[in-house]
Structure 1
Amino acid sequence: MNTLSTFFIFISLFASISHGIEVDYCVGDPSLPRGPEGYACKNPSKLTSDDFVFRNFRGEKQTGGIYKNNITLAFAEQFPAINGLGISMARLDFGVGGVIPLHSHRTSEIIVVIRGTIVAGFIDASNNAYYQKLEVGDVMIFPQAMLHFQVNVGKKPAMAIVSLNGASPAVQQTTYSLFDGNLPAELAEQITLLSQKEVTRMRKLFKTA
Structure 2
Amino acid sequence: MEAVKTLLLFVVVLAVALSVSIADPDLLQDVCVADLTSAVKVNGFPCKSNISEMDFFSDILAKPGATNNSMGSLVTGANVQKVPGLNTLGVSLSRIDYAPGGLNPPHTHPRATEVVFVLKGQLDVGFITTANVLISKSIKKGEVFVFPRGLVHFQKNNGKVGAAVIAAFNSQLPGTQSIAATLFAASPPVPDHVLTKAFQVGTKEVEKIKSRLAPKTKK
CA distance in 1, matches of 2:207, 2:108: 24
Matched, 1:28 2:34: yes
- CA deviations over 1:89-114 (Å, ceiling 9, x no partner): 11101011100010011211100000
1:185 deviation in Å? 2.0
TM-score, with normalisation over the residues of structure 1?
0.86
Aligned to 1:83: 87
Are the aligned partners of 2:26 and 2:90 in contact in 1 as well (CA < 8 Å)? no
Instruction: Pick one of 174, 178, 181 that aligns with 1:176.
Output: 181
Partner Cα separation in structure 2 for residue 208 and residue 82 of structure 1: 30
Residues 72-126 of structure 1 show CA distances to partners (whole Å, capped at 9, x for unaligned) of 0112122211111111111101011100010011211100000111011100011
SS of corresponding position for 1:51:
helix
CA offsets per residue over residues 120-165 of structure 1, 9 Å max, x none?
1100011111110000011011111111000001110110010111
Deviation of residue 65 (structure 1)? 2.1
Which of 53, 73, 76 aligns to 1:72? It is: 76
Question: What amino acid is the match of 1:78?
Answer: K
> Could you tell me how far 1:20 is from its partner in structure 2?
6.0
User: How far did residue 21 of structure 1 move?
Assistant: 4.9
Higher alpha-carbon deviation: 62-71 or 94-103: 62-71
Identity value in percent: 27
Question: What amino acid sits opposite 1:201 in the alignment?
Answer: K
The equivalent position to 1:200 in structure 2, one of 202, 207, 210, is: 207
Residue 52 (structure 1) aligned with residue 56 (structure 2): yes
Aligned partner of residue 23 in structure 1, secondary structure: coil
State the distance in 2 between where 1:76 and 1:156 align.
32
> Residue 184 of structure 1: CA displacement?
1.8
CA 1:195–1:141: 2 relative to 1, 3 Å: same
Deviates more, 1:91-100 or 1:57-66: 57-66
Change in Cα spacing, 1:20 to 1:152, as seen in structure 2 (3 Å) is closer
Aligned to 1:95: 99
Q: How has the CA–CA distance of structure 1 residues 53 and 121 changed in structure 2, closer, same or farther, with 3 Å as cutoff? A: same
Q: Deviations over 1:9-37 (max 9, x none)?
A: xxxx9xx99x965410111111112312x
Measured in 2, the distance between the counterparts of 1:23 and 1:90 equals 25
CA distance in 1, matches of 2:55, 2:161: 35
Aligned to 1:130: 135
Matched residue count:
191
2:154 is paired with a residue whose SS is: strand
**Aligned residue identity for 1:75:** N
User: 1:208/1:48 Cα in 2 relative to 1: closer, same or farther (>3 Å)?
Assistant: closer
Which position in structure 1 is the counterpart of 2:147?
142
